[in-house]
Chain A
Amino acid sequence: MQPKMIPALALALCGIWVAGCATRPSDSETERAVAEMIKASFKTRGQATVARLNQDDAQALCSKHAGELPKDVSDGIEKAQQATIRYPSSGKLTGDWREGERIAQSGVGKQFTDAPTRPAGGSCYNCHQLSKQELSFGTIGPSLYQFGKQRGASEAIQKYTYGKIYNSQASTACSNMPRFGHNGVLTEEQITHLVALLLDHDSPVNK
């Protein structure tokens, strides 16, 4: 019979079977099973194609090293992701914070129940606090309240902020935050509105 309370360490080292590690499925057996499941258990629906389950380099590495990311791997990811960042050719990195608030509130985008033509939102409040008035905010990411007030709105800060939203893994490998620009979720213009929401002196985020 299996014991009810399993020490975390044993869990990490050996899986959880009292019978011994030797009877555990091998890594390659597990990998094969997972590959088969991914093929057979999912189907394309609406805009969500099965091709989405093909991982890019960052996704594959982050899945493989979940829980403990070696420094050389995280450095490599950050370098590669940094290279993907595209800034607006106009040079204008800050848009309209009112539009930014609308984008931050919207959780629509890329689901098979979403119309493909409808612009995606940033789902920002799902994970972050932003304005003081909005009480329905998540805590998966840090609070962004007073983001601009704390940092100012210099060109360097605008670039940093834009880059964070475009590809969060350029600064934090395997970040939980979607790579909104790089993955084509938000447009250039939408990101500038979010930059304004975060940095503009008049934005509710900085009041």
Chain B
Amino acid sequence: MRIDRVLAGVLAATLPCLSPAQQDTQKEIERYRQMLQESNPAELYEARGEELWKTRRGPRNASLERCDLGLGPGVVKGAYVRLPRYFADTGRVQDLESRLATCMVTLQGFTPEEARRKPFSGTGAPMITTDPFSGVGQRSVMTDLVAWIASESRGMTIAPSVSHPKERLAYQAGERLFYYRAGPYDFGCVTCHGEEGKRIRLQNLPKMTNAKDAQRAFGTWPGYRVSEGELRSMQWRMWECVRQMRFPELEFASDASIALITYLAKQAEGGTFDAPAIKR
């Protein structure tokens, strides 16, 4: 399985840098991951997402089948790995989730607020049940769609577009945001993701400015988080990081979130996309 090879690569890459005791810990972490690979509940989200793409919804009673994710209306295969990119119709650089919100508005007639409601499914950890986006046992249409659309790029090469002036601006802004230190903990993304071979507690941290690390990290989101029992997307990953950085709340599908994702996608360029993956 591809994931096994990627994990083996992780093991091989990190072992030389570790002491014997650390290698044992690393081995156990990897063994646990292997045990989870067998069957990924992300499949359940993908099946729902595929249906939702074709389902007529909203005031216009229309499906998303004419939604343009960058490769032309209705083209889903290979779309995820070419995002984020500039879209002429909105005049903005957009990632998958903001683009889906656009299509829900323009094709299905939802309001922007309705399109952005409940981007994240389920309850998450009990501590964030106050999150307006989640609710007990509630599904997220957005998450289901993301799961399926991502699966339609599985195995392909990560190749975001950073040639249009606005794409370059998003990239540079994302880079600045990556290094932006603020808040009561003086954190920036760089604090945890700026050095190789580090981990927080027992969670390995990719150095996001290192191509191999970035490829593996970006190539495995969206991912099913076993500990949460939910599938999590890149927008969720940004939102959750920012919360833990002790920053104020990062708005879903906001310009800053898209800029960060643009920066990270470019760092991962050339990697093999292997999502939806399964995670701790």
Contact = CB atoms under 8 A, between A and B. Distances in A.
A and B touch in the complex (CB under 8 A): yes
A36 interface: yes
A125 B202 CA distance: 10
A169 to B, nearest CB: 8
Interface in B146-181: 157, 162-163, 165, 168-169, 171-173, 176-177, 179-181
A15 B169 contact: no
17 contacts: A4-B157, A5-B270, A17-B162, A25-B169, A34-B177, A37-B259, A44-B248, A48-B247, A52-B184, A52-B247, A127-B200, A136-B202, A138-B198, A140-B198, A178-B184, A179-B186, A183-B186
A137 interface: yes
A78 to B, nearest CB: 14
A17 B200 contact: no
Contacts of B250: 41-42
Interface of A: 2, 4-6, 15-17, 19, 23-25, 29-31, 33-34, 36-38, 40-45, 48-50, 52-55, 58-59, 62-63, 66-67, 109-113, 125-127, 135-140, 169, 174, 176, 178-179, 183-185
B30 interface: no
A148 B165 CA distance: 55
A34 to B, nearest CB: 5
Contacts of A40: 251, 254-256
Interface of B: 22, 25, 127-128, 130, 157, 162-163, 165, 168-169, 171-173, 176-177, 179-188, 190-192, 194-195, 197-202, 205, 242-244, 246-251, 254-257, 259, 266, 269-270
B246 A52 contact: yes
Which of A42, A55, A174 is packed against the most chain B CB atoms within 10 Å?
A42
A15 B200 contact: no
B169 A110 contact: no
A63 B176 CA distance: 8
A125 B201 CA distance: 6
Contacts of B256: 37-38, 40-42
B183 A41 contact: no
Which of A67, A136, A139, A174 is packed against the most chain B CB atoms within 10 Å?
A139
Given A43-B249, A50-B248, A59-B181, A4 B270 contact: yes
A41 B186 CA distance: 19
Contacts of B169: 25, 29-30, 33
B176 A17 contact: no
Contact of B182 (A52, A169, A174): A52
Contacts of B180: 34, 38, 55, 63
A33 B93 CA distance: 13
B162 A2 contact: yes
B200 A178 contact: no
Contact of A113 (B22, B195, B243, B269): B243
Contacts of A176: 191
Nearest to B188: A63
Contacts of B270: 4-5
A111 B246 contact: yes
B248 A15 contact: no
A183 B184 CA distance: 5
Contact of A112 (B22, B192, B248): B248
